[in-house]
Amino acid sequence: MSLIKELLDVESADQANTPKPPPMSVASRWRWSIPEMAAAATAGFALPAMALLLLGRFIMPLVLALGLVGAAVAVWLLGPERVTDRLPRSGWTVAALVLAAAAFLVNARFANQDLYAVRDPATYLLTGQWLAHHQSLPIDTQPEVFGSIRGAGLTYGSSAGFGDAMARPGFVYAQGNHLLPVFLSLAGWLGGDAVLLKANALFGALALLAMFGLVRRFAGEPFALLATAALAVSMPMIAFSRDAYTEPLALLLLFGGMSVLWRAIESGRLAEFALAGLTAGTAAMSRLDSYVALAAVLLVGFGYAGRAVVAGQQRAGPDRAGLIRAGLSRVGLLFGGLALPGLFGFWDVAWLSDGYYHNTRPQIMPLLAGAAALAVGGVVAVWAVWRWPRLRRVVGASARVRWAWLGAVGVLGFFAVLASRPWWQTAYESQPDPSGCNSFVPQVQASLGLPVQRCRSYDELTVHWLAWSLGWPAVVLAVVGLAVLVWQALRRCDLRLLGPVAMTVSLCVLYLVKSSITPDQIWAMRRYLPVVLPGLLGAAGYLLSRVWSWPRRWARPVGAGLAGLLVGVPAAVTHPMEFVRQYVPQLAQIRVVCQQAGTDGAVLVVGQSMANAYGQTVRAFCHVPVQAMDDPSQADLATIRAAVANHGRRLYVITQDRGAVPWTAGPQAPAPLYTVYEQRWPTRLLDVPQHAEDAEILLWMGLVLPTGSVHPLPPAT
C-alpha cells in the first residue's frame, strides 16, 4: 500500500523539490513548440482546402496558395510557447525531430503501391490521384462515351470504394471523408504519382511528433520520446504510414489539438483556445469517428466554463462579471474552432459521399446525438453550478479523492475483465440476419484452416490484439499508468490532463468492448492507432517516469529494463515485416496500361472482380473514360466500339479472365500484357503477420476491332 501511495504522490514531491529552470531563449521556445505548430499548420492548411473542395473549386494553385496562407496564419497566431519558466533546456525535441525524420525516410522508402483497389487505402490514393488533375467530386465516369447496351447488360462505372452517386447519375462518389485525399492530391500535383504513394509517410512522421508534444507535458521529455519510439517501431504505425490510411492524420490532429489546448489552459490566450478547437476539430474532416474523441474537448471546455463561473462568484467587486465573461469567451472560441471543421467533415460525407453516408448513417447519427447530448448536459451543468453553489461539493476536495479512486480502480477492473474475455466469451456480430454478417471472415477462416464460424467478430480478443503488437509488458505498464493518470486528473481536477485522459478512456471503452471492424490483423488495429495506442503508450511512459523518480535503489535499474521492453518488444514483433514492401510493382503495371491506351483511348474493364479492383485506378491514372461490363458478348463489344469511335476514341479491354474476351487468336490463349509478382503482409486472425506471402496479378489487354473481336496486345518488355 505504501508503494501505491508513493506512486501517486511522487510527482507532487518532484514538483516541490525541483527548482524551476531559467527562461528559455526565443530560439529554444520556437524549437520546443514545433510539434504543436506542425499540427496547427496542418489544420490551417486543411480548412481552406476543404472549403474549396466542398464548393467544387478545387483548383490546385488556388488550393496551394490559400492553404499556405492558412497554415502561416495558424503558426503566427499560435507562436512559440509563452510559459517559459518551466520549459527545460534540452535536446529532447531535436531528438524527437530526428526520430520523426527517420520514420519518414524508412516508411517512404518502403511505401506501398496499393493500386489494386480492395480496401480503403486504395480508395484514398485513387481519390487523391483524381483530385490532382480534376477540380471537383464526385467523379464523372463518362458513360455516354460507351453508349447503351441492351440484352447482356449495361456498362457501369462503379468500383471498390466508388459507388454510384445517388444525386448525380453517371457519377461515382469516393467513400469516406476526403481530407487525406486532398493532401495526397497536393503531393501528386507537385511530385507526380510516385510521390503521392509516399505522402502518407509524412503524416505518420508528424503524428509521432504530435504524440511526443502532448505526452512530454505529463510524462516529461525523455519518457515521451521513449513512448513515441515504441509507437514508431510498432507494426500498426509502420503499416499505416506506408499506405494511405487516415489514422496517422487523425492522430496528428487530435494529439496536436490536445497539446494546444494544454497550452491554452496554462496561458489563457484567446488565440490558443480557438486554435485548439480548430486543430482537434479538423480530425473530423479525416475520420468520422473522431467525433467521439472530440467529446473530450467539450468536457474540458465545460470544465473550464464551470471553473470560471465559480471563480467569478468568489470574486467581489467590478471584476466579477468580467472574470466570468473572460472565461466563457475562451470556451466560446474553443467550441467555435471545434464546430467549423466538425461541420465541414459532416458536410463532406453527406454531400460528396452520399451513398457512403446513406449506408453508414445508422453509425453516424448516434455519434452526433451523443455529442449534442454532451453539449446540452454541459450547458446544464455549468448553469446548475451557477444557480446552486452547493453542487460544487460534488467536485470538492474530499469528493475528488473518492472520484479519483473510483476512476483508477475502474480502469484496472475494466482492462482486467476485457483481458479475461477469451476464457469465457466467443464474440459474434449482433446481426438478426446471418446473411448480413461480414462475408470476408469465413473466407479467411477457411484459408487459414480454422473452423468456419459465420458472424464471428473476435471482439473478445481486443486487449490481446494490443499485446500482439506491443507486447504484454507495454500493455500492463499502459493500464497501470492510465489508472494513475486518471487518479491524478480527477484528484487535482487538472483540466490540462483531463483532456488526453478522457480522450484515451473514451476510445478504449468504445473500441475495446466492440471493435466494429473486420478482425483480421493488422487491419483491425486501425481502430486503435489514432488514440488508443498512443494514449496507452503515453500512459506507459508516464508510469516509467514515476518509477524512475522513486527514491529506491532498485527503481532506476527496473525502470531501465522496463523501458527496454517498452521499445524492444514492439520492434521484435514487427521484425522482419518492416522490410516487406507491399504491392510493388503495381504502379509499373498501370503505367503500361496508360501507355497503351494513350490519350485517345477508352477502356472497358471486363469482369466484376477486375472492375472493382482496377476501374477507378485506370480512370484516375490514365485520364481516359472507363466503364466496366461483367460478361460482354462479341456483339456487345462491337456496339460499344462503334459508340466509342463516334467520340473519336479507340476501345480497349482489360481483364484478369482471359476466357471472358473473344480474342482474335481464337483457341490459342494470348499471353498477358503485364504480370505483377508482389509481396504482401498475410491476413491473420489469431496472431499478427510474421512473414511475407507472394501474390501475382495477371492483366490482359486488347484493342477491340469493328467486328467486336479483340486483338491482344503483346506482353510489355
Q: Write out pLDDT tens, residues 512-528.
A: 999 999 999 999 999 99
Mean pLDDT rounded to a whole number for the chain:
90
| Amino acid at the residue 158 | S
The whole-angstrom separation of Cα 49 and Cα 59 is 9
Is the CB of residue 202 less than 8 Å from the CB of residue 71? no
Average pLDDT on 141-166 reads: 82
Q: Give residue 463's pLDDT.
A: 97
152 pLDDT tier (thresholds 50, 70, 90): very low
Q: Are strands 626-629 and 601-606 parallel, antiparallel or unpaired?
A: parallel
Q: Give residue 82's pLDDT.
A: 77
487 pLDDT tier (thresholds 50, 70, 90): very high
Average pLDDT on 412-428 reads: 95
Read off the pLDDT of residues 527-556 as tens digits, 9 standing for 90 and up: 999 999 999 999 999 999 999 888 777 778
Q: Give residue 166's pLDDT.
A: 87
Q: Give residue 439's pLDDT.
A: 86
Cell of 688: 499478427
Q: Give residue 376's pLDDT.
A: 84
Range scoring the smallest mean pLDDT among 144-148, 586-590, 600-604:
144-148
* Listed residue (679, 681, 678, 661) closest to 670, CA to CA: 661
Examine the pLDDT at 17 and tell me if it is beyond 60.
no
Range scoring the smallest mean pLDDT among 92-96, 154-158, 380-384:
380-384
pTM of the model: 0.94
Is the CB of residue 66 less than 8 Å from the CB of residue 18? no
First to last CA, the chain: 73
Average pLDDT on 259-285 reads: 95
Q: Give residue 233's pLDDT.
A: 97
Is the CB of residue 637 less than 8 Å from the CB of residue 708? yes
Range scoring the smallest mean pLDDT among 279-293, 305-319, 365-379:
305-319
Is the CB of residue 342 less than 8 Å from the CB of residue 284? yes
Q: Give residue 86's pLDDT.
A: 57
More confident residue, 299 or 86: 299
The whole-angstrom separation of Cα 504 and Cα 501 is 5
- The full DSSP string for 283-328 is GGGT-TTHHHHHHHHHHHHHHHHHHHHHHHHH--STHHHHHHHHHH
Average pLDDT on 291-310 reads: 88
Read off the pLDDT of residues 620-634 as tens digits, 9 standing for 90 and up: 999 999 999 998 999
319 pLDDT tier (thresholds 50, 70, 90): low
Cα 219 versus chain centre, distance: 24
Beta bridge partners of 601: 650
Cα 500 versus chain centre, distance: 17
Q: Give residue 318's pLDDT.
A: 57
Read off the pLDDT of residues 557-568 as tens digits, 9 standing for 90 and up: 888 999 999 999
**Helical residues (DSSP H) of 55-79, grouped into ranges:** 60-78
- Cα angle for residues 478, 210, 543 (degrees, 5° grid): 25
Beta bridge partners of 162: 159
Read off the pLDDT of residues 180-199 as tens digits, 9 standing for 90 and up: 999 999 999 999 999 999 99
16 pLDDT tier (thresholds 50, 70, 90): very low
Is the CB of residue 299 less than 8 Å from the CB of residue 498? yes
Q: Give residue 398's pLDDT.
A: 73
CB under 8 Å, gap of 24 or more: what pairs does 373-377 form? 374/295, 374/298, 374/299, 375/298
- Rounded to 10 degrees, the C-alpha dihedral 422/425/427/428 comes to 150
> Which residue is listed with cell 504519382?
193
147 pLDDT tier (thresholds 50, 70, 90): confident
More confident residue, 299 or 383: 299
Q: How many residues does the chain have?
A: 717
